[in-house]
């Protein structure tokens, strides 16, 4: 299976995004999330794809099944390589997202967010009133996603082994919360280094600030990619 580093383009506008991408001569895998998408609109997705980059469009759909289905149809027109939704929206919601793909004849990788990497078991118990362990909920959400026909999940690399063990090697794990040894955790809680993510079996790591805020982003990207791919 293809393994890769996905760079989170968490920039406020097109200008900053293009200045960043200028440093990359070859096509890379990037993530367009809420900040850039809400700021610039769908055209930014088309433009970045035309530049030769692969795009994970991270809009984390979470709504009633019918709304998610129609939103997915709009999203599919942008031809992103990967799109996501929140598994906590439930199985029917995820099935409707897959029905949208079937009806439109499109096959992006559709993945479901399990528990955000900024979430801890402590937060789940004290605020969300979820009594099960974090790992149990991640695995259960992942099982629901697989049953609904999704390609994989977003989780922390720490949960990859249990997901692969129960759902098979082919079920894709996309893991943010990546921090090289010398970088600040910030708001992330369930963090691992790129090398650890490789050992744990992540398929894709998603990396934002350790690259975008580095003094030399292109160098940081190369180092992280080397550490993750082990080459």
Ligand X SMILES: O=C(O)c1cc(=O)[nH]c(=O)n1[C@@H]1O[C@H](COP(=O)(O)O)[C@@H](O)[C@H]1O
Positions marked catalytic:
58, 60, 63
Q: Is 111 annotated as a binding residue?
A: no
Quote the least distance from Cβ 178 to ligand X, whole Å. Answer: 6
Q: Is 65 annotated as a binding residue?
A: yes
Question: Among 102, 71, 108, which Cα is nearest to 89's?
Answer: 71
For residue 88, what is the DSSP state? G
Bridge partners (DSSP) of residue 5 are: 205
- Binding range to ligand X, per CB under 6 A, among 44-52, 69-77, 130-138, 208-216: 208-216
Helices (H) and strands (E) in the chain, counts: 11, 8
CA 35 to each of CA 1, 18, 85, 220, 227: distance values in angstroms, whole numbers, following the listed order: 30, 15, 16, 22, 28
User: Is there a binding annotation on residue 210?
Assistant: no
Query: According to CB under 6 A, which residues from 17 to 76 bind ligand X?
Result: 31, 33, 58, 60
Q: First and final CA of the chain: distance in angstroms?
A: 16
Q: Which residue is nearest to ligand X (CB)?
A: 208
Known binding residue 62? Answer is yes
Judged by CB under 6 A, the number of residues near ligand X is: 20
Question: Is position 183 an interface residue for ligand X (rule: CB under 6 A)?
Answer: no
The phi, psi pair for 83, rounded to 5°, reads -135, 160
The answer to whether residue 113 forms part of the interface with ligand X (CB under 6 A) is yes
> What is the contact surface with ligand X in residues (CB under 6 A)?
8, 10, 31, 33, 58, 60, 84, 113, 116-117, 154, 176-177, 186, 188, 206-210
């Amino acid at each position: 299976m293809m393994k890769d580093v996905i760079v989170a383009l968490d920039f406020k506008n097109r200008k900053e995004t293009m200045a960043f991408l200028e440093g990359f001569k070859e096509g890379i895998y990037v993530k367009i999330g809420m900040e850039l998408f809400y700021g610039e609109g769908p055209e930014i997705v088309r433009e970045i794809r035309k530049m030769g980059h692969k795009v994970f469009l991270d809009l984390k759909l979470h709504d009633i099944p019918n709304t998610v289905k129609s939103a997915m149809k709009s999203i599919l027109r942008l031809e992103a390589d990967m799109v996501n939704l929140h598994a906590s929206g439930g199985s029917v919601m995820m099935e409707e997202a897959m029905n949208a793909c079937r009806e439109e004849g499109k096959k992006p990788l559709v993945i479901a967010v399990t528990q955000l990497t900024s979430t801890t078991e402590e937060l789940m118990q004290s605020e969300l009133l979820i009594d099960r362990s974090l790992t149990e909920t991640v695995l259960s959400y992942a099982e629901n996603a697989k049953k609904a026909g999704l390609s994989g999940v977003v989780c922390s690399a720490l949960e990859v082994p249990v997901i692969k063990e129960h759902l098979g090697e082919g079920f894709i794990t996309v893991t943010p919360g990546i921090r090289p040894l010398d970088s600040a955790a910030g708001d992330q809680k369930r963090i691992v280094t790129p090398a650890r993510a490789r050992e744990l079996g992540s398929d894709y790591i998603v990396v934002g600030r350790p690259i975008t805020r580095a003094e030399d982003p292109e160098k940081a990207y190369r180092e992280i990619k080397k550490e993750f791919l082990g080459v």
